[in-house]
Amino acid sequence: MPRNMQDYDETRASFRWDVPETFNFATDVVDHFAGQGDGLALIWANAAGEERIFRFSDIARESKRAASALAARGIGKGDIVLIMTPRIPEWQIAMTACLRIGAIAIPCIEMLTAKDLAFRISHAKAKGVVCRAEHAHKFDGLLAGVSARLSIGGQAEGFDEWETALAAADPEIEAAEVMADDPALLYYTSGSTGMPKGVLHAARGVYAWRASAQFWLDLGPGDIIWCTADVGWSKAGTSILFGPWSMGACSFFYDGPFDAAERLRLLERYGVTVYCAPGTELFRVVDEDIASCDLSRLRHTVSAGEALNVTVAERWRARTGIPILEAYGQTEALMTLLNYPCKEVRDGSMGLPTPGLDIDVIDENGRRLPPDTEGQIAIRMPAPQIMLGYLHDPERTAEAYIEADGERWFLSGDRGARDADGYFYYRGRGDDVIGSSGYRIGPTEVENALLDHPAIMECAVIGKPDRERGEIVKAFVVMRENRLLTDDLIREIQNHVKNSTAPYKYPREIEAVSELPKTLTGKIQRKALRDLERSRLGETR
Q: What's the confidence (pLDDT) of residue 521? A: 57
pLDDT in tens, 392-414: 999 999 999 999 999 999 999 88
- Name the average pLDDT for the chain: 93
Which band of pLDDT confidence, cut at 50, 70 and 90, is reported for residue 55? very high
Q: How far apart are CA 229 and CA 305, in angstroms?
A: 9
User: Residue 374: is its pLDDT beyond 80?
Assistant: yes
Residues contacting residue 531 through CB under 8 Å, at least 6 positions apart: none
DSSP string of 139-198?
A: GTT--TT--EEEEETS--TT-EEHHHHHHHS-S--PPPP-BTTSEEEEEEE--SSSSPEE
Please state the three-class secondary structure of 390-433 as a single string: ECCCHHHHHHCEEEECCEEEEEEEEEEEECCCCCEEEEEECCCC
Q: How far apart are CA 376 and CA 365, in angstroms?
A: 10
Q: What's the confidence (pLDDT) of residue 193? A: 63
Q: How many CB atoms lie within 10 A of CB 302?
A: 25
**Helix, strand, coil abundance in the chain, percent, nearest 5:** 30, 30, 40
Distance of CA 78 to the CA centre of its chain: 22
pLDDT in tens, 12-54: 999 999 999 999 999 999 999 999 999 999 999 999 999 999 9
For the segment 284-295, the average pLDDT, to the nearest whole number, is: 94
SS3 215: helix
Which band of pLDDT confidence, cut at 50, 70 and 90, is reported for residue 192? low
Cβ proximity of 143 and 149 under 8 Å = yes
Q: What's the confidence (pLDDT) of residue 444? A: 76
Q: What's the confidence (pLDDT) of residue 541? A: 42
Which band of pLDDT confidence, cut at 50, 70 and 90, is reported for residue 329? very high
DSSP one-letter code for 503: G
* Gyration radius of the chain's alpha carbons: 23
Q: What's the confidence (pLDDT) of residue 466? A: 87
Q: What's the confidence (pLDDT) of residue 431? A: 66
SS3 88: coil
Q: What's the confidence (pLDDT) of residue 37? A: 94
DSSP one-letter code for 331: T
Say what percent of the chain tops pLDDT 70: 96
Q: At 286, which amino acid appears?
A: V
Q: How far apart are CA 353 and CA 171, in angstroms?
A: 43
Q: How far apart are CA 330 and CA 311, in angstroms?
A: 25
Q: How far apart are CA 327 and CA 227, in angstroms?
A: 13
pLDDT in tens, 56-112: 999 999 999 999 999 999 999 999 999 999 999 999 999 999 999 999 999 999 999
Q: Which helix (H) or strand (E) holds 300?
A: strand 300-303
Helices (H), 258-299: 260-269, 279-285
Helices (H), 219-294: 234-236, 242-246, 260-269, 279-285
pLDDT in tens, 108-166: 999 999 999 999 999 999 999 999 999 999 999 999 999 999 999 999 999 999 999 99
Q: What's the confidence (pLDDT) of residue 404? A: 94
pLDDT in tens, 214-260: 999 999 999 999 999 999 989 998 899 999 999 999 999 999 999 99
User: Residue 540: is its pLDDT beyond 50?
Assistant: no
For the segment 532-541, the average pLDDT, to the nearest whole number, is: 74
Helices (H), 350-406: 394-399
Please state the three-class secondary structure of 95-137 as a single string: HHHHHHCCCEEEEECCCCCHHHHHHHHHHHCCCEEEEEHHHHH
**pTM of the complete model:** 0.85
Q: What's the confidence (pLDDT) of residue 259? A: 95
